[in-house]
Amino acid sequence: MAKKAASINGKPGGLTYAGSGVDIEAGDRFVASIGSLLRRTHGQRVIPNPGGFAGLLRLDYNEQLFKHNFKDPVLVACADGVGTKVHLAIEMGKHDTVGIDLVAMNVNDLIVQGGEPLLFLDYVAVNSVDQDVLHAIVTGVSEGCRAAGCALLGGETAEMNDLYKPGDYDLAGFSVGVVELKRAMDPARVEPGDMVLGLASSGVHSNGYSLVRSVIRHAKLELGKVYPELDPERTLGEVLLEPTRIYVQPIVRVQRQYKVKKVITGMAHITGGGLAGNLERALHEKVDAVIDRRAWDVPAVFRFLQARGAIDPDEMDRVFNMGVGYCLIVRPTFAAGVKRRLEKMGETVYELGTITKGRGRVKLKGHH
């Protein structure tokens, strides 16, 4: 712990930044240590800029240099965080997966618009610089960026000991991508008869963790304990820290395979608000999506949380993804082909339902 200053008149012994709890040198050492984690995500678009105050990335149309040649490129941008899932990471002392969550929550939103991510920036707020914790977090961010095919171009580490308790931190991320304007998603294209496909989630993803932590407290659950009805091999904490699935590569690749025909008429990333709340954002006011709950099996983690917390089924549907992390609305004649292509890329795909005439609502039918 830093000693208190002997005086404040600017002479030796006066107040210092380190004395107030901010260690500039430790922050500089951390930044210097993560260069390789950034570089492993860089492709030909990134322009080296050592010591720069911002990252540089090409956005031109040199067909020989890049795979794509945009005629009317539009930038797509979004920001998101991981929420209170970081509390579980802190309690478990496991920090290498929340960075993947951070990337996923951003890039999965970005691809809904039909775009593909180009770059990512992270913001980490901490009580004090802990090299090992920060390195683990950024390792996850780097891994997520590689999975999403985007460049980790830079970021910020903010040391704020008067705002965060010792050991606490928070994460935010920002992603920028590009979409050809004529291929950007437009709810007006959704028509009665279109099919709704769902991609399996990897678990709770990064929404609803305030409720998850409430269940843990009230049911007196232990993060380090194995609950056989949940998972016979992993602890509760390990199951809950399972990172959010990144859907970028399969979604981008499927869209590239249909360069002329617009076979995908809408998409949704299933986050806070659940399946109904997010899928409605892909609809216009003259159509409904009729979804059959029996079309997919709800993962054990949701049944476990619901039982231990005595949570109402409607509340579960509002808060969690319930096993479906991403939705596509597809022209009926192409639905089987799109499903087959996604399955070849390793996705579990459910035929959730159909689009009908309506009022812009999602109607959940049947029971799990």
Regarding whether 307 and 212 lie in a shared domain, the answer is yes
In this predicted structure, what is the pLDDT of residue 41?
81
Q: Mean pLDDT over all residues of the chain?
A: 90
167: DSSP letter = T
Do residues 287 and 357 make contact, with C-beta atoms less than 8 angstroms apart?
yes
Whether the predicted pLDDT of 346 surpasses 60 = yes
In terms of DSSP H, where are the helices of 93-130? 98-112
Calculate the dihedral angle through the C-alpha atoms of 63, 69, 74, 75, rounding to the nearest 10 degrees: -40
**Span 118-139, pLDDT tens digits:** 999 999 999 998 999 999 999 9
Distances (CA, A) of 137 to 7, 30, 97, 169, 173: 38, 12, 7, 10, 12
Q: How confident is the model at residue 54 (pLDDT cuts 50, 70, 90)?
A: confident
Q: Which residue has the higher pLDDT, 10 or 301?
A: 301
Whether the predicted pLDDT of 3 surpasses 50 = no
244: DSSP letter = P
Whether the predicted pLDDT of 100 surpasses 70 = yes
Instruction: Please give the model's pTM, rounded to 2 decimal places.
Output: 0.89
Token digits of residue 159:
């040391």
Regarding whether 299 and 206 lie in a shared domain, the answer is yes
Among 180, 195, 227, residue at a domain's last position: 180
In this predicted structure, what is the pLDDT of residue 259?
77
> What is the number of domains present in the chain?
2
Flag whether 15 is in a domain.
no
Regarding whether 344 and 299 lie in a shared domain, the answer is yes
Among 136, 160, 180, residue at a domain's last position: 180
Q: How confident is the model at residue 191 (pLDDT cuts 50, 70, 90)?
A: very high
In this predicted structure, what is the pLDDT of residue 9?
54
By residue range, what is the domain housing residue 293? Answer: 187-365
Burial class (CB in 10 A: 0-12, 13-18, 19+), 12: exposed
Whether the predicted pLDDT of 169 surpasses 70 = yes
Q: How confident is the model at residue 217 (pLDDT cuts 50, 70, 90)?
A: very high
Q: Which residue has the higher pLDDT, 236 or 183?
A: 236
Cβ of 218: how many Cβ atoms within 10 Å? 11
The CATH code of the domain that includes 227 is 3.90.650.10
**Span 63-81, pLDDT tens digits:** 444 555 577 888 999 999 9
Per-residue pLDDT, averaged over 95-108, amounts to: 98
Q: How confident is the model at residue 28 (pLDDT cuts 50, 70, 90)?
A: confident
In this predicted structure, what is the pLDDT of residue 42?
83
The CATH code of the domain that includes 113 is 3.30.1330.10
Whether the predicted pLDDT of 6 surpasses 60 = no
